[in-house]
Amino acid sequence: MSNRDYASTQLAKVLTRIQNACAAAGRDSNSVRLIGASKRQAPELIHGFAEAGLTDVGENYLQEAQEKQSQLGNTALEWHYIGQIQSNKCKPIAEHFSWVHGVDRLKVAQRLHQHTPTERAPLKVLVQINIDDEQSKAGVSVQQAPDLCAKISELDKLALCGLMLIPAPQPDPERQRATFTQARDLLNHINQRHGLNLTELSMGMSNDLEQAVMAGSTMVRIGTDLFGARS
């Protein structure tokens, strides 16, 4: 099976899950963006997915992502940087990505703002929330998120679009949905408190996609269930 044929089959499966979840929630399926979590996936496989209709990919490792971007330069993909950001990586991230999921410190936001080229559109950023207060995970606390969002919104070369989260693993669908609903409520609270218009919720992966969509996710990040096992 060619990469494109494999990609078409896999993409159809995941899009069907999204469509079914949206139907159950009374939502338009176009309101949820599928991001292929493509770390450690071969460039030729990603190219096959792009040919099959995937438009967005997310990468966690800068060097790996830059190598893929170089090889896939003629492919119409929108690149998302996902995960924790080191200050010394802000310049290449600002220069080579359209979206950044994972800003959790004002210093990082300021560095991204500093290095975003003035001739391009503002860099779209999401604030990462540590919704379960896990010491092992990056992200700002729920309590500190509103003030961080307010400060980032003042940086004119960044477009603050919403929130991103990676909840603690939870097998119970109802508890999954409760966590995602908490994030949605936080987004609404931030908008009301600071007069913002944040619209994006990047939440939901292979094992909890449906519950995230039911709670209002606008971006789901799917890796293994889309591409298959990582190489």
Of 156, 145, 131, 157, give the one whose Cα is nearest residue 103. Answer: 145
Average pLDDT, the chain: 95
Contacts 24+ apart (CB under 8 A), 169-177: 169/207, 170/208, 173/208, 173/210, 173/211, 176/208, 176/211, 176/212, 177/211, 177/214, 177/215
CATH 3.20.20.10 fits 3-227, yes or no: yes
CA distance 140 to 198: 17
- Please state the rounded mean pLDDT for residues 181-195: 98
- Alpha helices, H only, 26-143: 43-52, 62-71, 90-96, 106-115
The conformation of residue 2, written as its DSSP 8-state character, comes to -
pLDDT at 74: 84
So where are the chain's domains?
A: 3-227
Amino acid at 35: I
- Please state the rounded mean pLDDT for residues 10-33: 97
- Please state the rounded mean pLDDT for residues 76-83: 94
Question: Which residue do the tokens 């190598």 mark?
Answer: 67
Give the H or E element holding residue 194. Answer: helix 173-194
